[in-house]
Chains A and B, each alone.
Chain A
């Protein structure tokens, strides 16, 4: 097991290096010189020369890359042009919002996807099975920003049940020690703030969770159909175990193996989808941060932000791989 983990960790090194080269090269591909890009509108010949010197842009390219690796290694991603705060600070400040949203979306997808897929498989070929199959196909065909707009229209504009934008009421005076608003409300024992933050979380989470929901339901259905015909399930039934026990201990537990990998693979989709969902609901997370950075030509934020997101994505996949190897011992050997 340890060898497996070490090998996976070693495989990370070339990927992280490659990512750094990609992002490093990317900022040099941008229109105008990087110094211009970093300075934006305020560029004068003097400041450009100063920035070129400060960022060692007048040095050879390999020296520049080495310097870049060095600063990134110290978690120094520069300063945002629009806010004048460090990129690291802004990331740490906004990332909890995105994690909270992604987790809520995933919980929604799992809580509804697994039972739906399981029931569809148990009633294979029934009307319910067909409806859920069609439903999940439509689910993966709806762009999340469209679904978000529709949810906003129905539940916020028409019915007025839920707020349409933001993470909390504008007048809220709740304290946020961790920036996970739901957690904050629980920690500070603020019932009103808890309800408020959950209300704000509902619509974006459903929109972002729609595709994972459809995928989880489909995979669960396929896996249950597969496992149901295994010999050990037939044995369990033959020896007279109650159907409920067979379903929970033998069928579902084995069927959830492929489902768990799929859940991990959805992380990338969640991170991508967060940009769109956060835009629809003005959610102050990584997505809106990066989107605003594009329009403000805030290149330090874009450069650092994309690298951060990619690293998070790679690490999550690593955790998924390792946990999968723990659940399924066959992986470790191959």
Chain B
């Protein structure tokens, strides 16, 4: 039995409504999860309002500022200083949040929906289809995540949607396996047998009886996958496989460019890095909190 299947078995012991209400009340009492929600709220807030709160255009260069060497640090005009092309660092960070959030959400969305489709079909139909789908997933998992993403970007070329597809694809097998394990555990339940015996069609059983009960590990994994996706997108950017336009304020790309200025302007490396850590930490904290809240084994301990 895989870990996902084991988790699914544990979660299956709970009734649906009770589980969710209970999970929510426990999540609210978990200080870590609350910090996570706060961090993610800041991240989303900055991403959405970037055009309104940024003091400068993130692409506007001002070479006069760097005429006497890179790079002037924080000042009253530029709160976090400027980068090697005289662009305002704070504005670039704000816009960077946009890219990370959009790419991360779309990538996980792609991986989640395709993965869930495969997982649901494999888990519910079983047999040959199941075997075929899961072997394909095994092959995809045989290539370490970032390398698979690199290969896909190399094949599709650089650009925003290419990155989303690449990072999303690495998530497909993870979600497919997870949901399949979860469904296998649910399929044997009495309420499924009951629904089938009164003549509910297969698709309706899957959609309204099995999926709602099998979904909680997927939610946990989805939150954690957002954290990984943000790191992977930044990693691609750091390797130089980021958005095609090098002026794009993407956090990972910003880190590559400052490697040469570590001596004179270390802050330029620290700011984008800290921004990544804050957003990733936020999603990790929420994911951890959700896992604890949804895990009946931990009930009564907290």
Contact = CB atoms under 8 A, between A and B. Distances in A.
Interface of A: 14-15, 18-19, 22, 26, 29-31, 137-138, 140-143, 145-146, 149-150, 152-153, 157, 268-269, 271-273, 275-276, 279-280, 290-291, 294-295, 302, 306, 309-310, 313-314, 334
A19 B273 contact: no
Nearest to A17: B139
B67 interface: no
Given A141-B227, A272-B145, A294-B150, A18 B240 contact: no
Contacts of B142: 15, 18-19, 310, 313-314
A314 B284 CA distance: 28
Interface of B: 1, 32, 135-136, 138-140, 142-147, 150-151, 154-155, 157, 227, 231, 234-235, 238-241, 252, 255, 258-259, 262-263, 266, 269-270, 272-273, 276-277, 280-281, 284-285, 288
A59 B150 CA distance: 29
Contact of B288 (A137, A268, A272, A313): A137
**DSSP majority for the B interface?**
helix
A269 B142 CA distance: 12
B277 A142 contact: yes
Contacts of B288: 137
**DSSP majority for the A interface?**
helix
B144 A15 contact: no
A7 to B, nearest CB: 15
Given A269-B144, A290-B147, A150 B238 contact: no
Given A153-B266, A276-B238, A334 B145 contact: no
Given A157-B262, A310-B143, A302 B273 contact: no
A271 B150 CA distance: 13
Question: A18, A291, A295 — which one has the most chain B CB atoms within 10 A of its CB?
Answer: A18
Contacts of B32: 137
A31 B158 CA distance: 12
A313 B269 CA distance: 32
A309 B240 CA distance: 21
A182 B146 CA distance: 28
Given A143-B234, A146-B255, A306 B151 contact: yes
